[in-house]
Structure 1
């Protein structure tokens, strides 16, 4: 007959096996993620970032040069569809169309350049490559074009917040008035019945 093992003996056998399995699973996934990140970096984001970088840190941009740069980035993104998110590819196509038709594209260029720059720095971090430090990593924050676009978005947000903040006191005043009116009506009705 099988003799029963104590719980501590079972734990001594099972726990190392579970830890070994989880470690192996993590390492397997991690190496696949590193390989995918390296491919994404080499084929898509490094070339796109090299093209867009001069426009990130500059305020004076030639629209024709910028259009050529955006078209090149669009080609890279469409050539590497499996490495670039669909939303970024759609925004790039929309940006090219807006730039060609001379529509307002300031918000789109900010979104596209921010998306490329953000993912580029994420991939640098994942792959263990050195990153720029200090102000150089955030130099674009001082770009006049980006600053005005951010202020416009902030202005819209502040406008909504101010609108809400204006309605709160108005709502409180109206509700207080209605409450007092209701109390007076009830007091009046109670006075009539006595």
Structure 2
């Protein structure tokens, strides 16, 4: 796993943030520029870090985007922990309690520090005859199926999942594979523990 480095200049960082918030809201350059009373060309230069701009202009842009000015700068000093690259095949293999052959977890990413609140795994299941345990843990889990077909149990419910399907579930309710219909099955499992402390 490779951590990103704090190598963005402030202008680059601000430009990236403004563009991200604009695109998240589905706003066009021209729309934001007009409301903020700046030219479309100027906004494009700000987003691409081609100019340094005044706090007054940034304040107007933030107002248009509906975010506090402080939000633009809030994560600048923490960039080093904001990105983690795991190259194909390099994810650390993790053994989950109760799992046997044919069921592997590769840790893709997690938040750092003593109170980890986020983990993501690439889960591979290739033994259709295996009996799988149920899991229960704090937080919310998201499952995204990349390949294969599976019936997945969550409490008293059974969900039929195929490639491209996404299931979000409450982690404290017992859950796990009920039936492997078409193997191999590969899925992404992302767990958000919130304020819970995990080991």
User: Is TM more than 0.5 here?
Assistant: no
Q: Looking at secondary structure, tell me which structure has more strand per residue.
A: 2
Task: Give the TM-score range, shorter chain.
Answer: under 0.3
Q: Looking at secondary structure, tell me which structure has more helix per residue.
A: 1
Give the greater-gyration-radius structure (CA).
1
TM-score, structure 2 as length reference: 0.22
